[in-house]
Structure 1
Amino acid sequence: MNPAVAVVAVVVVSVATAVIGFYGLRISRTTGDFYVASRTVRPWWNASAIGGEYLSAASFLGVAGLVLLSGTDALWFPVGYTAGYLMLLLFVAAPLRRSGAYTIPDFTEARLDSRAVRRVTSLVVVVVGWLYIVPQLHGAALTIRITTGLPAWVGSLAVVIVVCLTVVAGGMRSITFVQAFQFWLKLTALAVPVLFIVFTLTGSGTAAVAPAVVNPTGMAPAGAYQNISLLVALLFGTLGLPHVLVRFYTNPDGSSARRTTLIVLGLLSVFYLFPTVYGLAGRMFAPELARSGQADAVVLLLPGHLIGGTAGDLLSALVVAGAFAAFLSTTSGLVVSLAGVISQDVLGGGVRGFRLAAVFSAVVPLGFAVTTDSLALAGSVGLVFAFTASTVCPVLLLGIWWRGLTDTGAIAGMVTGAVLCGGAMVCGAVLGAGGIPFWLAQPAAWTVPAAFAVMVLVSRATKDRIPRTMPRVMTRLHTPERPLVTER
């Protein structure tokens, strides 16, 4: 595609994001505005915003790339990404909103009456957030390099600058408007080119071609274990994503949190149809993208490859704008959630602390992103889900639904999950895709049960540490009463 058109698309979506973000500054004044939008976000707005931040580089680019490489085996990714919200609806959304907390560490401290649990949870949340931001910056680097020819670091730096400006300007209230806009931009950016491609290729009669390439996703070849482990990671990992969970604190009440989740399920179901179509079209009409190692770029390159001319350039520009919106929206959500944790635990809270923490939360992963190479986007994000499922998810589920959880058990379980899953990720990075055993390539099938088991066994062995406040807290989690955490 024409590099100048791609640059214009990136500039336009960045400016639009900044303008909407600065608009949020006009109505963001209190600490509650910055942390949870004063808990006034209605279901449709919140669902659109969740879709904006959840549909990351892995969803916009990576799913199509995996379908291009692996065909129907890759469909477990969109299925798992979407079904994870059903788990949220059933087990987490309403009780978490009723907790009245600002952040996940707020919830664990209030539930277990322990500062130690809060500190460990905060550390885990920050690690999860940084691990998730890095693939977004890799996606931006890939997009800028492929479509404009500029150095890859330009894309990563541009995302961090825009995100810092919008988050610092208005916090959660500002980002809600930004992410809702970005969801609909992403959906349009995928849907319109797909319709043009379908109309253009109707009746072409071209036979499908399955590319014979080595799977570069960082995962072992598909099999029963890999599919089960991937589903465990995606289903349980969704329950522990800090940037998703913090959005439920912005709903007015528990019932609106449930309605938000139902709407999100519908929006995600529609969205994931389009990356799948891109991947299948790539297998049929552009298998050379897989052979050349550009599978993750199939969404960016396919409109120009199949349509060409001015129309192809314009459609490609729309896709580039949507891709950049994906990187911006997910990174924004992660930075907001991390800023809330870091500002309260390190900087004493308040608006100024939130803004300083936001800049810090974005700059650290930028350093990692510009000094490392990208794995396949969906594969790398899948490992982040596995880490989250092994750490944050167990303490949330057991904290909400089991009265026997203790602070010692929670810490032991989170540390176990972090060590086991983190160790598997490090081994994978050292050994590479070709040398890693299948059970390390997809560790969630054994790290998640291990974390739950340790949390339960240690809690049962330390029954005397069940907090006295547990009955009152559990009652408030499961009945629509006043907030558990005092508004600040």
Structure 2
Amino acid sequence: MTSQAISLTAVVLVTVATLAIGTWGLRFSRTTSDFLVASRTVRPRLNASAIGGEYLSAASFLGIAGLVLVFGADMLWYPVGWTAGYLVLLVLVAAPLRRSGAYTLPDFAEARLDSRRVRALCSMMVVAIGWLYLLPQFQGAGITLQAALGAPPWLGAVAVAGVVLINVVSGGMRSITFVQAFQYWLKLTALLLPAIVLLMVWVGDGAPNPVDVPSSGLSGDAWSLPLGGGDAQGLYLTYSLIIATFLGTMGLPHVVVRFYTNPDGRAARRTTLVVLVLLGVFYLLPPLYGALGRVYAEALAESGRSDVLVLELPRLMVPGLAGELLSALVVAGAFAAFLSTSSGLGIAVAGVLGQDVTGRRFGRGRLSGVAAFRAGAVIAMAVPLVLALAVPGVGVARAVGLAFAVAASTFCPLLLLGIWWRGLTEAGAIAGLLVGGGGCGFAVAWVMAGGQASSGWAGVLLSQPAAWSVPAAFLTMWLVSKLTRRTVPAHVSRFMVRLHYPERLTR
């Protein structure tokens, strides 16, 4: 059996397992609440596995190792930030958000501020962030199938979009929860088992040091250079990345929606604690592949193919059938990463579109809850698929980093101020969302158009905007709310009690 046949078999098995588990979960999905939040009955351990499944995306599975290969140890800020973001979420957001009783972020915004305009703006932000995050999932799927099977890049994107759409429209959140929990453990296994073998090979070779490996494309000094170079611009990029990853997690729609599925606020906190453990274990592995790649796979960095390092490294280090089987296992894990993250994003975006677009007026009449959700799911998948095929050159980790920056600049200020400060007003929320979202939106458009950080300070500020867009959004929300403090909603005190007191007391 050829290497392509083995990899194809692995992809097919993952796809069949995904569809089978999703179909099994269909028997539990009946109501709109089942489709949107699994009727709020998902227990912490299952929910934590599902969150781990959807959160560990193409950037985690492929991007981190590639970045470490090219730029060195400072790229470890990505996994550190992505994990630490859940600590902020645990302390400040998880339990109050669950107690709000909302189905989506726009639901929370409308309930807190009693404003349809804020809800409409939040709906637009959710869709924009979801589509921006889906873009690298589809592109990563294309890269994976191209590297493993020699398939055209569009095939992986179309395959992932199709499988995800089937699962999302058939069972909604109920089905996807079981699928994503399974896919977390598959992804962990797919990286862990080959990593053990590769470490044994490395030790058997005398454990060569990555720093001492000569290369025309990667010098030994590159291992310790700060992000973007050892100057003020590089320092800015590092701090901006930290802000985006630390604060962006709480604004990601597919992450936040999972906390609505817990039975209560206490379960939401317990879920977050388990998630921190699961992510911490997983994120030990991609940097290991990056470090080994600096010994055995420097040619991938020199040829601009660093994103396929995780897929190619087992084959490069272990000759023969054993290497092919290990590579096929990694391919299966990568495909699971695209499916699980895309499923979570599809649920989040479809829920918003189903409530605020297709459920309001679709064609000549109004669709019911489940039908509106399914129509929203079609739109949620179709638009980013077209973008992924039209804009193929955006790096996986870079696109995800931009999505985090947008989330940190919009929903992070809204959630923190909305949950912990009674003075937030409708005008303040709208102004802050427009400043943060507008600034980041311009930066995203600039990057998509081919802008690079090497274009001087303007390019640096736009390539990683979180360091200025997040403070600007917070300051704008606070200042405008102060100026319009007479318009604080009348029900805010009662709503704050609901957010911060245990359910058994507020009943």
Shift of 1:221: 3.7
Match of 2:455 among 435, 441, 445: 435
Task: Find the aligned partners of 1:431 and 1:53 in 2 and give their Cα distance.
Answer: 28
* Counterpart position of 1:266: 277
3-state SS of 2:490 partner: coil
Contact 1:220 1:441 in 2 (8 A): no
3-state SS of 1:432 partner: coil
* Counterpart position of 2:201: 200
Contact 1:47 1:261 in 2 (8 A): yes
* Counterpart position of 2:363: none
Deviations 1:444-476 (CA, angstroms, capped at 9, x unpaired): 000000011111111111112110010111110
3-state SS of 2:154 partner: helix
Task: Find the aligned partners of 2:482 and 2:184 in 1 and give their Cα distance.
Answer: 44
- The percent identity for this pair of structures is 58
Amino acid at match of 1:93: A
Contact 2:300 2:309 in 1 (8 A): yes
Task: Find the aligned partners of 2:195 and 2:171 in 1 and give their Cα distance.
Answer: 35
Shift of 1:375: 2.4
Task: Find the aligned partners of 2:443 and 2:169 in 1 and give their Cα distance.
Answer: 36
Within-5 A mapping of 1:311-350: 311-348=322-359, 350=369
* Counterpart position of 2:473: 451
Q: TM-score, normalised by structure 1?
A: 0.96
User: Is the counterpart of residue 412 in structure 1 residue 427 in structure 2?
Assistant: no
Q: More deviation in 341-350 or 303-312?
A: 341-350
Shift of 1:132: 0.3
Shift of 1:395: 0.6
Amino acid at match of 2:498: R
Contact 2:451 2:463 in 1 (8 A): no
Task: Find the aligned partners of 2:467 and 2:215 in 1 and give their Cα distance.
Answer: 29
Change (3 A) 1:28 1:84: same
Task: Find the aligned partners of 1:16 and 1:431 in 2 and give their Cα distance.
Answer: 38
Shift of 1:438: 1.8
User: Is the counterpart of residue 153 in structure 1 residue 175 in structure 2?
Assistant: no
* Counterpart position of 1:368: 387
* Counterpart position of 1:235: 246
* Counterpart position of 2:494: 472
Shift of 1:224: 1.9
Shift of 1:410: 0.4
Q: More deviation in 223-232 or 111-120?
A: 223-232
Q: TM-score, normalised by structure 2?
A: 0.92
Match of 2:398 among 379, 384, 391: 379
Task: Find the aligned partners of 1:325 and 1:239 in 2 and give their Cα distance.
Answer: 23
* Counterpart position of 1:351: 370
Deviations 1:9-46 (CA, angstroms, capped at 9, x unpaired): 11110110000001111111111111100111001000
* Counterpart position of 1:75: 76
* Counterpart position of 1:91: 92
* Counterpart position of 2:364: none
- Structure 2: state its 5+ residue gaps: 360-367
Contact 1:103 1:246 in 2 (8 A): yes
3-state SS of 2:449 partner: helix
Deviations 1:137-181 (CA, angstroms, capped at 9, x unpaired): 010010011111111100000000100111111100100000000
Shift of 1:207: 4.2
* Counterpart position of 1:391: 410
Match of 1:280 among 283, 291, 299: 291
Shift of 1:431: 5.0
3-state SS of 1:239 partner: helix
* Counterpart position of 2:136: 135
Question: Size of the alignment, in residue pairs?
Answer: 481
Shift of 1:212: 4.9
Task: Find the aligned partners of 1:390 and 1:363 in 2 and give their Cα distance.
Answer: 26
3-state SS of 2:189 partner: helix
Task: Find the aligned partners of 1:243 and 1:210 in 2 and give their Cα distance.
Answer: 43
Deviations 1:385-422 (CA, angstroms, capped at 9, x unpaired): 00111111111111001100001110110011111111
3-state SS of 2:11 partner: helix
Task: Find the aligned partners of 1:53 and 1:431 in 2 and give their Cα distance.
Answer: 28
Contact 1:339 1:358 in 2 (8 A): yes
